[in-house]
Amino acid sequence: MSLHTNPNDPVSPSNSAVLKDRPATKQRRAEKPASEGPKVIDGRPPANSPETWKLGLDWPVVVWIGVVHLFAIAAPFFFTWQALATCVVLILATGSLGVCMGYHRLLTHGSFKTYKPIRWLLALLGGLSGEGSAIMWVSNHRKHHKYSDHDGDPHSPRDGAWWSHMLWFMPNWGQKISDDIAKRYAGDLLKDPMMRFLHKMFLPSHFILGVGLFLMGYFGAFGLTGGWWDGMSMLLWGTGVRMVYVMHVTWFVNSVTHMWGYRNYDTTDDSTNLWWVGLLAFGEGWHNNHHAYQRVASQGHKWWEIDVTYWVIWMMEKTGLAWDVIRLKDVKHTKPA
């Protein structure tokens, strides 16, 4: 059963409008009886099942994640303050602006509108997070909202904590299934030639950035002395450490904010608000608020639920770079408990 059944929902094959806002008032799903087997949804075998793992691993993805983590492990041996500062700047650019504001609130849910060049820039920054192209990220996230903590959810902790955190994207689903999911859940993005171009440029863009960072260090940018050691410092901190941080705080939203925390709203899934994920993930950790009102730009619904990504949207609105920002007052809602 989907969380929303509105025919204008983006998860409908015939429409790519944004998700409808409506707090679900039904109780969360009870544990499935052992006699009731999980279902095949969108051509994918049941999550984290023997049938899934019989498909084998998606080795390009596994190698990609492995290399990124090896870079992060090696980075402390090539420490410079300039590389650390570069890492922090790129974390904010690719994590908060790219993933949280661009991929999530703008492209998936339509929480605000902006100019096409800014939309494309945010999609590019989101791709540099290392979490896949906008087309793939948005299609999986919209599917998550349709089936949240039910059969069909790509990454529910009910199928295993580690599955929801980082194993769910490692099976080899096959190109046809991936393409079909993209067409069904992200048809609006597929119509945009620039989004298709950024999809094709996902890996090349990382190589371009990596080479650029290495050359900045090698030729002594930002006061570095130059040489291969400084080049490796910029490369390892600007790619490995930065991507590992952004990846895992994003994955925490998929895993722990469906396991631990408190709830302001009674939704049909297990979503929760978890303060430390809220802080580490640029405001994304107030996940129960988000599942109750998916289009609302601000995910912090109480005064102390800090949402730095929304602050940037607010500043963009004040400077004319964003408009039609969706707020709680714009939708019918119940007051947080």
pTM: 0.88
Mapped onto helix, strand or coil, the DSSP state of residue 41 is strand
DSSP 171: B
> Please, are residues 333 and 292 in contact by the beta-carbon 8 Å criterion?
yes
User: What sign has the CA pseudo-torsion 215, 128, 178, 14?
Assistant: negative
Terminal Cα distance for the chain, rounded: 26
Question: Each residue's pLDDT tens digit in the chain (337 positions)?
Answer: 233 333 334 443 333 333 444 444 344 444 444 445 557 777 888 999 999 999 999 999 999 999 999 999 999 999 999 999 999 999 999 999 999 999 999 999 999 999 999 999 999 999 999 999 999 999 999 999 999 999 999 999 999 999 999 999 999 998 898 999 999 999 999 999 999 999 999 999 999 999 999 999 999 999 999 999 999 999 999 999 999 999 999 999 999 999 999 999 999 999 999 999 999 999 999 999 999 999 999 999 999 999 999 999 999 999 999 999 999 988 865 555 4
Q: Count other C-beta atoms under 10 Å from residue 81's C-beta.
A: 11
Instruction: Decide: residue 166, CB within 10 A, 0-12 exposed, 13-18 middle, 19+ buried.
Output: middle
Closest CA to 129 of 206, 189, 40: 206
d(CA 226, CA 235): 13
Q: Residue 330 has what pLDDT?
A: 87
Q: Where are the domains of the chain?
A: 79-135+186-330
Predicted confidence at residue 331, as pLDDT, reads 85
